[in-house]
Structure 1
Amino acid sequence: MRIACIHQGYELYGSDRSFAESVEALRSGYPDAEIEVVLPRSGPIVDLLTPHATRIVFEPLWVLRRKAFLRLLTVDAARLPLAVLRAARRLAGFDLVYVNTSVIVDYALAARFYPGKAIFHIHEIPEGLALKVLGGLFGWSHSELIFNSNATSRTFGDPKSIPTHVIYNGVEGPAAPEPVTYDGSRPLRVLMLGRINRIKGQEVLLDAITGMDPAMRSRLQVRIVGSAFESDEPERELQRRIDTLGLGERVDLQPFDADPSDHYRWADIVVIPSRRPESLGRVAIEAMAWGRPPVASAIGGLTEVVEDGKTGWTVPPGNVDALRRRLETIIADPRPLGEMAIAGRRRYENLFSKHAVAERITAAVAANLARRRRRPAASLSDERRGRAP
């Protein structure tokens, strides 16, 4: 059994951790398999993958990124044929190719000629032109799709002509949640984790804090943890905004941390004020695993993670006043935190724990292999030769 696992990242953000957990699930389900992992470069994710991969190789991938869209269609277009050829060779040589995220274009193009061999695990909710391009790619490839939420599935239209699944991301949480200690006698500790960009909504949280009266603002402490992608300018800009708003005593900006455990232990609640749709919301899941009720934007897959008023709260995306009022209510009456922490942990264990999700991923792979074994001999012969039947 030969399985190739393809990922466009190399850090330890949400999609990177989800990929590592999928590779671990495949190793658990197929302990004797040869598992080759393909990354664009080395990085922190390698340490998570090494125990489960037979080997890790680094090679260029043709990845659709919004900021580099024009460059991809012009200067980088010359690289695409070679990238597709590399993808085709791997598809020809492996029993299954698992591709994490929808934006790896070379594998989507090559998969058309190897029916059934590729499974794309989609973790994004693209918009506008990106959605049209990616939707067209999957219409072309006829690849099997795993969506990480119903919101993601609805975005792509859940094509009926190919096998699809909705499988939530599995998250490795602590063995037990941390105790709830906030009772209003000290400042409320508010944590925000995530990349620094306008999508994640760091400025929404800052504006909500700024809108509080000074007495209420003095009753909270905020920690924002994260870095920008391949540039530190957004971090410097965010720090300037904190200083300009006079929030230096209330808000502590810290760089990305590969192990956020200490941040969750410190926190009382976790805020996810995303401005654009999250495909699921890993930070909200981790918050519930740690017993830290999330306050999340009511958008995208976050509404499938957080049960408003039961395991946390949701607020309209980008609504500064709604977020401010929610924080003020928690400060004024922290009594619901204990019950929400218990309910959130229970929801995490039932739907989002690593072991629960691993079973679903390996079941999807087993079903894929069984379908292909039942395929007529002529079709299998065409597939081996790298031609669509």
Structure 2
Amino acid sequence: MSKPLTIVMVHQGAELYGSDRSFLSALAALRERHPDALIDVVLPEPGPLVDLVARYASRIQYDENGVLRKKKLKARPFRTLKDMAFSWLRFRRMFASYDICYVNTVVCVAAIMALRLRQRGSYVHVREIPSKLALRVFNTMLKFSRASLIYNSNATAGAFGLRGTVIHNGVEVRGDVTSAAPRSVRPLRLAIIGRINPWKGQQFVLDALATLGRALPVEIRIVGAVFPGYEALLSQLQHAAANCAQRVEISGFTDDPSVHYQWADFALVPSTLPEPFGRVAVESFAMKRPVIAAAHGGLQEIVVDGVNGFLFQPADDRDFVCTLERAVATRATEYVAMAEAARQAYLDSFTERSYMNAIVNCITPDDGEKPMPDQAPAASAATGIPQ
């Protein structure tokens, strides 16, 4: 009898945001394809993700020091680097006993560096488009690791310029897929869903409305939370909301945002820096809601202007307000066609099953087992040039 496959999977968080859910889908896919495999998972700390991971993992371990956190590095640089070095030694010893090592996101620095001594079976899933300086550092780290790279979009692959495989994220539909409530005289409903941070664009939206779009008949719902220690961002956003002519509702993180997509006419993704992928846009499509998005990064691989949503120039408040005016002026029949196109784009390219198939066929391509149901199209090989 052959020895069961052994896999270790390392992730940077334990919440239920986009990268967490994509990690969980990858884990579920490997468990489905390899029911007898030993699959160990390493997380930085306990959290809401743990109970879901426990359904598929053989064991869960914790290592909080292997993940690069900008705030922690600034506050205690020498202690942070020392802790990371010890984490690197632990990962190096650990990885020697596994057939496959999968590291999710480039901020798992200690784990990525520990892949160097492995001959094969090492994968890093790149889900970030860092700033120029950070990009050079991560680029050097990935080259040093000699791991096979998986990118979440052609935009991410193009930013790094290293050979790898592009696999677009897929999402599971949660909640009932229904059409948006018909508009007559009510304002246009816009939902901004996801982590609250400076580059996600929540503040940009409220500032643009306050200066140029005060007369626009829209309602805004912001759903998300800040990282611990960044509560000042939330206070600033709440202050801007109070000064906005439109109704703005701010609610905290939820692990099931379907009710907010059902409320909305459009999901709004106003990121001021390029989104590596744009999971919120795909979730919105799955719920039959078109998207208004900044035209950069992976969002340009999802949203087609005038077909399944609208695009505007990133961080351009005038173009943003003009785009909202286009959305407000959209006739009912045009909106229905746009919503149908959004749903079809999800079904064609962004289902969770298509993502799971692509991931498992990339990581364990030569296992000799039958393909999973609903085989996805082959993932594209990335050369660093967006396709």
The DSSP-based 3-state class of the residue aligned with 1:146 is strand
CA contact (8 A) 2:213 2:321 kept: no
Asked if 1:338 corresponds to 2:336, the answer is yes
Please tell me whether the aligned partners of residues 280 and 300 of structure 1 are also in contact (alpha carbons under 8 angstroms): yes
- How far the C-alpha of 1:208 sits from its partner, in A, is 2.9
Matched residue of 2:365: which SS? helix
Asked if 1:311 corresponds to 2:308, the answer is yes
Deviations 1:204-239 (A, max 9, x none): 21123224565x43x321111111111322111210
Gaps of 5+ in 2: 369-387
Alignment of 1:106-255 (within 5 A): 106-159=110-163, 164-174=164-174, 177-211=177-211, 216-217=215-216, 219-231=217-229, 232-243=231-242, 245-247=243-245, 250-255=247-252
Q: Does residue 83 in structure 1 map to residue 80 in structure 2?
A: no
Q: Give the deviation of 1:13 after TM superposition.
A: 1.1
Say if 1:177 and 1:345, in contact at 8 Å, map to a contact too.
no
Moved more, 59-68 or 202-211: 59-68
Q: Which stretch shows the higher mean deviation, 46-55 or 349-358?
A: 46-55
Q: Output the TM-score relative to the length of structure 2.
A: 0.89
Deviates more, 1:125-134 or 1:55-64: 55-64
Decide which moves more: 142-151 or 23-32: 23-32
Deviates more, 1:128-137 or 1:320-329: 320-329
Q: Does 1:105 align with 2:105?
A: no
How far apart are residue 264 of structure 1 and its match? 0.8
Residue in 2 that maps onto 1:95: 99
Q: Of the candidates 326, 329, 336, which is equivalent to residue 329 of structure 1?
A: 326
Partner in structure 2 of residue 38 of structure 1: 42
Where does 1:268-279 land on structure 2 (aligned, <5 Å)? Answer: 268-279=265-276
Q: Which runs of 5+ in 1 are unaligned?
A: 371-389
Given the alignment of the two structures, is residue 365 of structure 1 paired with residue 369 of structure 2, yes or no?
no
**What amino acid is the match of 1:241?**
A
What is the CA-CA distance between 1:128 and the residue it aligns to?
Answer: 2.1
Amino-acid identity (%): 38
CA–CA separation in structure 1 for the residues paired with 2:72 and 2:99: 33
Q: 1:127 to 1:368 in 2, by over 3 A?
A: farther
Please say if residues 73 and 80 of structure 2, whose CA atoms lie closer than 8 Å, have aligned partners that are also in contact: no
Moved more, 227-236 or 59-68: 59-68
Q: How many residues align?
A: 362
Deviation string 1:47-100 (CA, Å, 9 cap, x unpaired) is: 221211122222234222333444575222222332112111221111111110
SS of equivalent residue, structure 1 residue 301:
helix
- 8 Å CA contact 1:61–1:104 kept in 2: the answer is no
Alpha-carbon separation, structure 2, partners of 1:317 and 1:221:
21
Greater share of helix residues, 1 or 2? 1
CA–CA distance in structure 2, aligned partners of residues 139 and 72 of structure 1: 27
**CA distance, structure 2, for counterparts of residue 184 and residue 327 of structure 1:** 17
- Mark the CA change 1:133 to 1:75 in structure 2 (over 3 Å): closer, same or farther: same
Residue type of the alignment partner of 1:285? V
* CA distance, structure 1, for counterparts of residue 211 and residue 80 of structure 2: 46
**CA, structure 1 residues 334+42, in 2 after alignment: closer, same or farther (shift >3 Å)?**
farther
Cα distance in 1, alignment partners of residues 177 and 263 from structure 2: 13
SS at match of 2:297: coil
Indicate whether 1:296 and 2:293 are aligned.
Answer: yes
Q: Which runs of 4+ in 1 moved over 6 A?
A: none
> In structure 2, how many angstroms separate the alpha carbons of the residues matched to 1:148 and 1:31?
26
Residues 10-49 of structure 1 deviation map (CA, whole Å, 9 limit, x = unaligned): 1111111111111111111212211111101100111221
2:6 aligned residue: 2
- Decide whether the 8 Å contact of 1:294 with 1:306 is kept in 2: yes
Report if the CA contact (8 A) 2:209-2:244 is conserved.
no
Q: Supply the RMSD in Å over aligned alpha carbons.
A: 1.9
Residue identity opposite 2:307 in structure 1: K
Structure 2 counterpart of 1:283, from 247, 272, 280: 280
CA distance in 1, matches of 2:91, 2:21: 23
TM-score by length of structure 1 reads: 0.88
Q: Distance in 2 between matches of 1:302 and 1:156?
A: 17
**Kept after mapping to 1: 8 A contact 2:9/2:103:** yes
Could you report, residue by residue, the CA deviation over 1:105-145 in whole angstroms, capped at 9, with x for unpaired residues? 11121111012232111100011221111100111111011
Q: For 1:24, what is the secondary structure of its paired residue?
A: helix
Residues 199 and 272 in structure 2, CA contact (< 8 A), matched pair in contact too: yes
Aligned partners of 1:184 and 1:332 also within 8 Å: no
Q: Distance in 2 between matches of 1:341 and 1:60?
A: 42
